[in-house]
Structure 1
């Protein structure tokens, strides 16, 4: 293919170009679709010349962009600036043009591009995530921030763009840095359900198939088939895209490709929607949504079943060996059995089984597909399985820019920049080597050389107003081929750092001071140099707590209905009351089509009368409340659940109801321990709220019923 050139006239002063000129020499243009499948070349945009360059080998370090637009800017559009600027998302003087381009003229090229997308993001030095619908007015840890609501976190394709790159930087609608995946790892984990350990460097292949599927459960794609195609890189499989086959068929093909290289039976650990309770199904899921409850499911080693662990597809279904056990349940027919999945819950180590119904001598279908049942043990079903199988080891993927130890490293130039909020601090000491001063008085540059022993560089900053000081220590140990830095309060003397250090800490850190908080962020770019951004958050800032706290998920919580039939209140069916609010808000609240997950944090002070609770508000589509439900846990030792129903026809706000329960006496709270249900008789239909502990696979520990 010939190189394409971009009209640079309107791009020179665009925000996007300025950012990438400063931080990367090359930018990948929509990597999944600028791939020459004949010559195996890569096109990169040179941010200095604003021209596309084609590379066949020795591909340079490059930055990459992840974004969502209302309309896509194609490869043909990028060659005609006037056409491209008319498309949504390119109003910032063509800033979007530097990142969005595609070529779909060849189906073969499109197929190879889709199968290569994960690798493009994995090989990038840094990925910039442009959130066009987010403004950095509130810190992302603030539940009122628009960060959690960004369309980017809800799209199917952006899951691999979140987990594949080594370094991820989030930018808001004005191209202002919000933070990084490392500094915001707890927030991003709460929003996406991807475990925080993934953002701390844990290999995603150590998670079960079901766990990885659960990360995509609530994500959406424009084309239904893309729900499957966007997950190929996550599972290291390839298959040709067939647009038009439908989302269910595409997802079935994806699972078949996974089965070819893995005997992880958690791929069958899914639950259908409650509306399918009486439907018959096979063993394969229809969409990632059916793995929404499977984040805690792990597979156990398959050697316990010997060579019977393998399974294959035939023209009449999936052929598989399953440990079966009969069930003693008068409510189920005699031809229904339980089949073990060889999977466990990471929470309580229970084994998971599902229901099968026999249709003829050797054939079964899955029944009650909305349930996975807990079993205490696999024995005696496995006691007589003693066969052996040889497993094929899959070829693992490795990034070109991995961090394998190297005997030789290169010097790294650090630029320490004081942001406007921190310019009341001055650099008062730097040791041991001289620094490189720039015309900008707010920048200090230090070149850190790799050496066979720890050689520490120290930058000390101090303010004359309060006398507060902080110290940044830099060093580069040759055996890791990675530079490091730490942030500490005060004027610390030079000393050896700890021998074992997490390389990810190069990405950012925050420490609290008496007058506020100091934040140091390392900007990792496509270039070899690095930029330290020093920020100060004033003590009076409403956002300071969100800067310095770390979100922690809860193991306890409630599954509640996301909609309530109006008939329960009014005795007639004229629609549904949706769950319109949860108070206090939490980033860990999840809402699905038929249910919602409400996290709960039991009190940890040993007081059995202390209550952890939230107020659920059900109302009309226009936001008017109809009734509230209070749910909570009493004490930490017993985790006694409770609920009360408040039907007020919109007279009380959720805040007022919450304050009422907060102010109740200890005696009142003790009485709550004896109450598991609350009924309302003021309406023709009546309504009862009750809670119970979970008995099958679900998020949290309890279930709320409104009947």
Structure 2
């Protein structure tokens, strides 16, 4: 790595402390080297004609570009909440300077972490539907698919989502269940759990489906999440950059889950090293816990030499003289199984990873481990604290401004307990001064007609936070991982609708703004405001493409799934179809219709689902019916309502001769690392070739005895 460090393009030490911010009133840039003021930050995806650093020097020139509207609206939003300064990547970095660009890439995570609030502008989303409504385009936004936006989602303390018209959609807190479903990031992360408590493999899996314009940015965009720095060298290629990233992580971590990745099934016969080529190879690793390295004592460390990675691994024979199973000392969060991978001996002292599309489950750690008495003392990791965490505790005391939005102005402030209310000229605002010692205030609002009421409780202990309650509703205790100060929005159902209260960060330290909204009982979106998504308990991995003779080109692919699901994922060679037991009151067993075919031509349909008293039986069958996947699904529902037999409680084998070829498929329990609990396998009888498209390989079962 020394050679790479010599290429680090920081030649001007003056740049190392430079940060530019845009004034929200004048749209002029200012440079700061210390005492950086409180600022908002914009997260967005780049579109045509973004305003650059060079453009913003002349506002007349900048205003001619399409992206100027975005800059103007971002400044207006920040200015409305008393922010004098905002950081926008397109115009606050001089990308013509390689030294400045390098610094910005290494500092990007810190820029977002230090911001008082992050505004996420989603140009392709409308507030017409609530994000929990399947009709909403929120889950499909391009912002959730980009590489750089992962750290922009995780690093800031406060995140506000805005739609294409800059209307507030919600916050990371209020939409944490939706965002978790879309991104596969555990909801506990958005409730305050430190991401460093998750394994390297788990954090890599969060980036598996994200894309970047420059291949190298797949690695560079992850540096902040893992707390490493490295000089960006565009042109070295995405694979090389990702290799460098993993080597930097290895320097500060002995978590062996960094080797817990799997390739596509098409690479089954390839030999590989121990490093992944891209985040995509961690797509199945969301359940892999950090390694228990203490099991092998001081042999847990490993390092790179000029002939490869030097590491101690517990080995056992895999039934072949030259093939071994190597334990990663990592367990699955789902069932506690230990993970092992295959190694092939290529010379007396060298090995290569073989069958890289598999991580095999082992019930226990079978290899005998020597009793090692020597010790290794590890240095504590040194991390830079956020500027906000270094401030005196009394800075968090201040003023709460509570505003009734137009939808809630049939409520009126009636009473307060504890510290006095400061009345403003605006009848729809009241303000409360919180003292710099433990204090509590209660604000009560009622309607004049029905006397329906709700109370907002404002606390100040070590920091200020609030809670919304109706009547005698008990106080809700935060969970173990929940940081109450992250609660920037909540919704409570009432007799006439729902009360929504959200907290907006302002540019004035110690000042916070609460905005009260009301969702009418007759609103079609009210259920989506008040419900919470629940992760599925089961699921299928199904092939994305299938070979079959008789087809044009011999290839058909997955072209539709009904009904869709927030947790459904599509990868390059497979798709994850989640499945959960039905809600109370549902009469039909949970199932989905998969449509396979060639776009623009007719398609075949497959029904997969759950049966049995506890919905533990999986089934699949050829779905009879023509039309779209939705129409076939409805025909199954109609059959159930008509009282006809649903399906036998067994796994079906089905055949498809629609295109002149013959295919069979069946469901099997997983035996290798994958999403979900089962996988759908296909066999092309006409060519007698078994296509292992879902990861559960027979080799793993036979050689491991599982």
* Band the TM-score falls in, shorter-chain normalisation: 0.7 to 0.9
SS in 1 for 2:38: coil
SS in 1 for 2:640: coil
Q: 1:155 aligns with which of 146, 152, 157?
A: 146
Corresponding position of 1:524? 505
Correspondence list, 1:460-499, <5 A: 460-477=444-461, 480=462, 482-490=463-471
Change (3 A) 1:221 1:92: closer
Corresponding position of 2:352? 365
1:261 aligns with 2:252: yes
- Cα offset for 1:264? 0.5
Change (3 A) 1:605 1:127: closer
Give the Cα–Cα distance (whole angstroms) in 1 for the partners of residues 597 and 656 of structure 2: 16
Corresponding position of 2:261? 270
Give the Cα–Cα distance (whole angstroms) in 2 for the partners of residues 702 and 429 of structure 1: 57
1:561 aligns with 2:571: no
SS in 2 for 1:540: coil
Change (3 A) 1:286 1:380: closer
Q: 1:596 aligns with which of 560, 575, 579?
A: 575
Correspondence list, 1:600-679, <5 A: 600-603=579-582, 611-622=589-600, 626-635=603-612, 637=614, 639-646=616-623, 648=625, 650-651=626-627, 653-661=629-637, 663-664=639-640, 671-679=647-655
Corresponding position of 1:8? none
- Cα offset for 1:587? 0.7
- Cα offset for 1:533? 1.1
Corresponding position of 1:703? 679
Contact 1:85/1:94 (CA < 8 Å) preserved in 2? no
SS in 1 for 2:139: helix
Correspondence list, 1:247-646, <5 A: 247-328=238-319, 333-384=320-371, 387-402=374-389, 408-409=394-395, 411-452=397-438, 455-477=439-461, 480=462, 482-490=463-471, 502-504=483-485, 506-528=487-509, 529-565=511-547, 567=548, 571-574=550-553, 576-603=555-582, 611-622=589-600, 626-635=603-612, 637=614, 639-646=616-623
Moved more, 250-259 or 680-689: 680-689
> After superposition, what is the alpha-carbon deviation per residue over 1:138-177, rounded to whole angstroms, capped at 9, x for unaligned?
1111122111111111111111111011111111111111
How many residues align? The count is 657
SS in 1 for 2:553: coil
1:90 aligns with 2:68: yes
- When normalised by structure 1's length, the TM-score is 0.87
SS in 2 for 1:275: helix
SS in 1 for 2:578: strand
Give the Cα–Cα distance (whole angstroms) in 1 for the partners of residues 150 and 477 of structure 2: 36
Contact 2:28/2:57 (CA < 8 Å) preserved in 1? no
Give the Cα–Cα distance (whole angstroms) in 1 for the partners of residues 318 and 477 of structure 2: 60
- Cα offset for 1:418? 1.5
Change (3 A) 1:92 1:336: closer
Change (3 A) 1:389 1:512: same
Contact 1:354/1:373 (CA < 8 Å) preserved in 2? yes
> After superposition, what is the alpha-carbon deviation per residue over 1:459-494, rounded to whole angstroms, capped at 9, x for unaligned?
2111234332111111212xx1x112111113889x
Give the Cα–Cα distance (whole angstroms) in 2 for the partners of residues 543 and 184 of structure 1: 14
- Cα offset for 1:108? 2.0
Corresponding position of 1:218? 209
- Cα offset for 1:681? 4.1
Give the Cα–Cα distance (whole angstroms) in 2 for the partners of residues 683 and 53 of structure 1: 66
SS in 2 for 1:327: strand
Change (3 A) 1:604 1:91: closer
Correspondence list, 1:64-143, <5 A: 64-71=41-48, 72-91=50-69, 94-95=72-73, 99=88, 100-101=90-91, 102-143=93-134
Moved more, 197-206 or 407-416: 407-416
- Cα offset for 1:434? 3.9
Give the Cα–Cα distance (whole angstroms) in 1 for the partners of residues 271 and 264 of structure 2: 13
Change (3 A) 1:37 1:579: farther
SS in 1 for 2:324: strand
Give the Cα–Cα distance (whole angstroms) in 2 for the partners of residues 667 and 365 of structure 1: 58
Give the Cα–Cα distance (whole angstroms) in 1 for the partners of residues 423 and 584 of structure 2: 53
Contact 1:611/1:669 (CA < 8 Å) preserved in 2? no
- Cα offset for 1:327? 2.0
> After superposition, what is the alpha-carbon deviation per residue over 1:359-389, rounded to whole angstroms, capped at 9, x for unaligned?
1111111111111100111133325555432
Q: 1:195 aligns with which of 186, 191, 208?
A: 186
Give the Cα–Cα distance (whole angstroms) in 1 for the partners of residues 354 and 494 of structure 2: 59
- When normalised by structure 2's length, the TM-score is 0.87
Give the Cα–Cα distance (whole angstroms) in 1 for the partners of residues 613 and 388 of structure 2: 47
* Residue segments in structure 2 that go unaligned for 5+ positions in a row: 1-9, 76-85, 684-706
Change (3 A) 1:601 1:107: same
Give the Cα–Cα distance (whole angstroms) in 1 for the partners of residues 288 and 636 of structure 2: 39
SS in 2 for 1:298: coil
SS in 2 for 1:68: coil
Change (3 A) 1:324 1:389: same
> After superposition, what is the alpha-carbon deviation per residue over 1:277-313, rounded to whole angstroms, capped at 9, x for unaligned?
1111111000000000000001232111112111111
- Cα offset for 1:319? 1.2
Corresponding position of 1:684? 660
Change (3 A) 1:518 1:322: same
1:45 aligns with 2:35: no
Corresponding position of 1:18? none
Moved more, 123-132 or 50-59: 50-59
> After superposition, what is the alpha-carbon deviation per residue over 1:39-72, rounded to whole angstroms, capped at 9, x for unaligned?
6232222324443232222222211111112144
Change (3 A) 1:319 1:92: closer
Moved more, 253-262 or 313-322: 313-322
SS in 1 for 2:248: helix
Change (3 A) 1:37 1:70: farther
Give the Cα–Cα distance (whole angstroms) in 1 for the partners of residues 46 and 585 of structure 2: 51
